[in-house]
Each structure stands twice: as structure tokens, then as C-alpha cells.
Chain A
Amino acid sequence: MNSTQALSRNTILDAVRGNQPVAQPMPTIPHFHTNKPADLVATFCEFIARMAGVVVTKDVSDLDSFLRVKFPDARVICSTIPEYAGTIKPARLNHWSEASTIDVCMLRSPMGVAETGSILLSDIELQVNTIAFLAHDLVVLLDPKQIVSNIHDAYEHPYFKLRPYSVLMTGPSGSGDIGGIVVHPAQAAKTLTVLLSPTPNAGKRTG
């Protein structure tokens, strides 16, 4: 830190110390489990649909057929999941901006959140963080057993304290900035499809 920065730092901290109000206690934060939804999966599905995400609840055993029907024009499919090979792996991208060439990105989320319909992703699943934003369409597998009740439970996930990057993603990119009507997409992924899919045994592959 250079001398100007040190001066600024000390000036700010001194001013803050001199002006801080009388110390107030930190409250205890409950998780409000008494208000837990009765059916976590149904609540998750309701809220992600409200945020324009698509949920497929029936088991999709043949991912290849599913993708061909849902995204018939997709050529570049980036997969980070063992269940599906795809046409490209994130490690093959030379620059993070090259993720814009991806048509469909296949991922698995380690956690869903019922009260908001969110899924969790981090740099572990993404490997190249831009694939979730520059790819046109996202398909995310989620084990329904990994859906937690609310945001309090969600922020207990170790990713938020350990990973450089993590995101609670809730539907595709959208904006209500023109006319107050929310449209999709805005700047990032055009669609988000969540497949409720139990975590497979290691080594099982299709596609």
C-alpha cells in the first residue's frame, strides 16, 4: 500500500471510529423453520416457474434425445456433468469470452432453494464462469433431495465461505427496464431448464 492509500485508509477509519454510534448488539438470526413449506419440491417448482425457469419433473433418462427435441439447432453443447459428454468441455476454451460460442450448457447444481426457486452454482461446476452467462441456453440437473427450505438454509452451504465465485441463479436473464414488463432474455442466458434428477452413481454415462 502506497503512502496516499495508507493516508486514505487511516483517515477513513479514524473518521468512522470517531463517529460510530453507541454500540448496538448483533441479533440472533433464526432460520424460521416453523414456516417451512410442506412440499419443498413443489414449492421450488412453483417459484422457479414464476421466474421464467422451466422445470422438468419426470425422469429424463435419455439426455441426448431430450436435447435434440428441445434444442434442435444446437451444435455446440458444453457439458460439465458425467451423465453427458457434450461436444466441448470448458477446459477447451482458450479465453473466457469464447463461451459465447456455446449453444447449450449442461451443468449439475448441488442445491436448490424452495422459497425462491433458485439453484446454486459455483466455479466448481462452471470451471469457466462465463459458460453460465454467455451460453444461449442452460440445462441444469438438480437432485430433488438437495432442495433446501429457504435462503437461511441456502447460505449455510460451504460454497459461500470457500469458493471464489458462487451464484444463486433463478430463471434466465431478464429485464423489466423498458415499460416495466419483464422480458427474457436480457444480457445473459436465454433459457434455464432444470431437470429434477437424482445424483447418479459414478461412472454412469449416456450421450
Chain B
Amino acid sequence: MSHPVDQAKNAEEFLADTVHEQRLDKLLWAMRMRRDAAARQVPEWEELRTLASEIKEHTLSHLSDYLIQFEARATANGAIVHWARDAHEHNQIVYDLLAGQGADTLVKSKSMLTEECELRPFLERRGIRVTETDLGERIQQLDNQPPGHIIGPAIHKTNKDVAVLFSQKYGSDLNNEDTAYLAGVMRENTRPDFLHAPAGMTGANFVVAETGAIVVATNEGNADLSAHTPPLHICSVGIEKIIPTTESLAVFIRLLARSATGDPITQYTSTFRGPRKGAAMHVILVDNGRSARLGMKRFWHSLKCIRCAACMNTCPVYRRSGGLSYGSTYMGPIGIIMMPTFEIRKYSKLPFASTLNGSCTNVCPVKIDIHEQIYGWREVMEENGQIQVVKKEAMRVADKVLSHPAPYQIATAALSSALEVLPHFAVYNRLNAWGKHRNVPEASRETFHEWYRNHRLKTNEEVRL
């Protein structure tokens, strides 16, 4: 049985290094501010969020039909569709496709699903050389670390860190920390892999049932290079990524990059409907726990996630802890509510890595009730007989991650500038030590369940917790 990941302890190590900690905090908060500015430029922003949420909820409530429609359309387009129940099955399909082509190397773009499935070590144990082609992901691969952020895998590293790493791995200039130089080193070393690899792999941001298309958004163009240059393109996609139509795709594209980085769109937003002449395209639809999560009445909304990372950028605990402290594929607020569905004991402490300030919910482009789900997971841990852990962990996160003056000020700034409607029920209660620790007004005597019954069910009986 796995030991629970100790996020607070891991965070302590990150906090001990003030250079990295302060830099990451500043960087991510800047991203959050850019996101706010981008949202303000779109008058219909809140309407788009509502639409995105409704489209996702519609799709997830008709998921089997849309999966079948996608399969039929993609097949008609010339792609070959595979189904994988779990990570092992997914990895085996990828390996069999590569082995069938005699492929011993693979260029791939960033895919959190392949991280979740631990594809790379699976292939490497079988003699396949894998090159991650996203700059941040490649940095993490070379450093033998998992991604620390879902859209900026190496965002926690300084230029000096990368300069040292590249000098060791690529023989580049140890003393040249210039960003453009380091990106150039990557380009120079990755391009031969693109040109000679027999197979390429991508993930997918969206899958369109109506057209059988997969849609991939990148800034580097590495997904297009991975998909087009080799004669074999393998695309892995979680079954929750399906949306009904191209018309609905527009809603998500308008939200995705603005929520992630504040840009109006990514540099390349690519639609792949089928293989080019003389090449093959395989799409692997992966479940790996998603269908089970769909049946969790309190937690299925997390399947709406479009992986923008806005919730991570705004989270005071994530910004102070670094993504690696979560010890999980998905980190930050969205990771907290996804990871226990994979392995409840291992991730039993993660729901306490949050102040429950509600900022994550406020920025989520698909309106996932993230902080309410975090609270819900705390209750699950309590119901599972881990109340001692609950109390202890809640205090530890508050003490270790948020006890310095600087983070407290930043968190306060976040509350005053970004959170117009504070979820007081969530901030001030017995399962949130952050509120207690800060000596804020007395915790409400109303329990969460009582609050919920009194305030929410009156207006919406359909809401699931």
C-alpha cells in the first residue's frame, strides 16, 4: 500500500530555497494577472464560462453517444481508433504500434495523460528512445523529474538551473543563461529527432465528435512537427476531452489560452481529422478511472477540466509550494480533486493543500466548483476514518506553507483584489486551518452540510456535491 504523499513536508523543502520559491510565486501571480486582463477584454467572458460549463455537462451526460460518434467519424476519416481501459492497456497499445512499425524512437509533444499513464518509462524499458519536444517537458525529462505545472512543466526552474542542465546534457555554455540562447540549444538538439523519428505522438486538448477531429494547442509548434514529420502519428486522449461540435470548440478556444497565459490564443491551434497520404493516424481513447469518476455524484464535475492551469496560478499554496511537492501527475487545486480518484490513500493528504479561498473556482473557465470539491474530499477523508490526519494536516499546511509574512500578504492581496464573493463557509470552518491560523473571525457554528442544506438546495436541487 502506498504511503500518503506528504505535500506539506515536500513544500517545506521548496520553501527552504527562497530564490526558487519567491520567483515561482511572482511568475505565477503575473500569469494570473495577465489572465484577468485578457478576460476583461472580452465583454462576454462570463457568458462564455457559463456556456463552456453547460457544454461540458451536456457532453459528459451523453458521453457514450459522443464517444461512439467520434469513433465512427474518425474511422471514416481514415484514422484508427483504439480503446484503453487503463494505463497499462494504453501503454501496451502504443508500444505495439511502435513495434509494428519497427520504430525504436518516438518524438512526442506534451501530454498529461501520458504522464498519468507513465508511458515514457514503459517504452524506455522496452528499448524505445523517447524525446519530449515541448521545451519545458524536455527540461524535466533531462532532469529526470515529472512536470511541475501542467502547462509550464519546468516553470519552477531558474535560467541558471536550465543552463547547468543543458551544459551537462548538451554541452552548451554553462555561463550563458539567456532565455533565447537556451531555447536555441533545445531547438538545435531536437530538430534532428523530428527529422529522423519514425513515429510521433501528441495528446489532445479537445476531441470533436461531429468531425472526428482532434484539436491540439501549442505555442512551440512541436505537436504539429511530431504529428506531421514522421509517417506514424499516435494521439492519446482521455475520454472526457470530447466536445460535440466545431461550433462548441470555438467557446473553449476563446477561453483556453486567455485563462492559461493571458494570450488571446496559442500560437498554433491545430485540427487533425485524419492521416496524410501515405501515413497512419491512431487515436487511443483512454478511460483509466474516468468512467468511474463520472459516477461520483460529488466529484464528476472535475471531468470538465480543460487543463488551463488557471487554478494553479491563482492558488497561494501552489505558488508557495511548487508543483513537485504534490507528488502527483496533476497538481494544484485541480490535482487535489482529481488525484484521490486514482488512489485515495496515497493522495489522502492533498485536499489539505488549500486555503479554500475560492479563487480557483472563480478563475476556472468551465466553472468547476473546485474549492467545494476540495472541501468534499476533506469530508471523504474524515468519513474514511482519517480524522486525526485531517486535523494534523490542516494545521501543517497552514503552518509550513503560509506562515511567512510574504505569502500571507500575497494571499491577502489575492483575496481583496480577485475574490469579489468570498466563500466564507469554506474559509472559516473546522476543516480549514488556514482561516483559524490567521486568527480570522470565529468559525461558523454552521457545519458545511448545514450551510449547504440551508443555502444551496433551496435554489438548485440538481446540484451534486
Contacts and interface: CB of A to CB of B under 8 A. Distances in A.
A180 to B, nearest CB: 4
Interface stretch (B9-17, B128-136, B318-326, B366-374): B128-136
B83 interface: yes
A109 to B, nearest CB: 14
B306 interface: no
Given A22-B462, A177-B154, A13 B68 contact: yes
Contacts of A180: 27, 30-31, 152, 155
Interface in A154-207: 154-156, 160-161, 163-183, 185-189
A134 interface: yes
Given A175-B135, A175-B219, A187-B222, A160 B213 contact: yes
Contacts of B263: 50-51
B453 interface: no
B209 to A, nearest CB: 12
A189 B225 CA distance: 11
A32 B251 CA distance: 11
B167 interface: no
A29 interface: yes
Which of B159, B162, B211, B271 lies at the interface centre, i.e. has the most chain A CB atoms within 10 A of its CB?
B271
A80 interface: no
Interface in B234-264: 239, 244, 246-251, 253-254, 261, 263-264
Interface stretch (A57-65, A68-76, A115-123, A139-147): A115-123
A97 B194 contact: yes
A156 B155 CA distance: 36
Nearest to B272: A165
Given A47-B264, A134-B225, A161 B190 contact: no
A20 B179 contact: no
Most chain B CB within a 10 A radius of its CB, from A22, A117, A174, A182: A174
Interface in B72-112: 77-78, 82-85, 89
Interface in A1-33: 5, 8-9, 11-13, 15-27, 29, 32
Interface residues of B, number: 97
A161 B225 contact: no
B158 interface: yes
Contacts of A174: 219-220, 267
A117 B159 CA distance: 30
Contact of A166 (B78, B139, B221, B270): B270
B396 interface: no
Interface string A123-160: 10000011011100000000000000011101110001
Contacts of A8: 83-85, 89
B259 to A, nearest CB: 14
Contacts of A50: 263-264
Contacts of B42: 35
Contacts of A19: 291-292, 294-295, 300
Given A129-B276, A167-B270, A20 B63 contact: yes
Contacts of A188: 220-222, 224-225, 268
A57 B263 CA distance: 23
B229 to A, nearest CB: 5
B43 interface: yes
Nearest to B66: A16
Pick from B153, B157, B219 the residue with the most CB of A within 10 Å.
B219
Nearest to A100: B195
22 contacts: A12-B291, A16-B239, A21-B61, A24-B58, A27-B50, A32-B44, A117-B264, A134-B194, A152-B251, A154-B250, A156-B247, A163-B271, A165-B270, A165-B272, A170-B269, A173-B268, A174-B220, A177-B139, A178-B162, A178-B179, A186-B219, A187-B190
Interface of B: 27, 30-31, 42-44, 47, 50-51, 54-55, 57-58, 60-64, 67-68, 77-78, 82-85, 89, 133-136, 139, 152-155, 157-159, 162, 179-180, 182-183, 186-187, 190-191, 194-196, 210-211, 213, 219-222, 224-225, 228-229, 239, 244, 246-251, 253-254, 261, 263-276, 285, 287, 291-292, 294-295, 297, 300, 462, 464
> Which 10 residue pairs are nearest across A and B when measured between Cβ atoms?
A188-B221, A19-B295, A177-B136, A186-B220, A15-B291, A116-B265, A177-B135, A9-B83, A19-B294, A97-B195
Given A21-B57, A187-B194, 16 more contacts: A12-B285, A15-B291, A16-B67, A19-B292, A20-B60, A26-B55, A29-B51, A35-B43, A133-B225, A151-B254, A151-B265, A156-B247, A167-B271, A170-B264, A182-B219, A187-B190
Interface of A: 5, 8-9, 11-13, 15-27, 29, 32, 35, 47, 50-51, 96-97, 100, 115-118, 123, 129-130, 132-134, 150-152, 154-156, 160-161, 163-183, 185-189
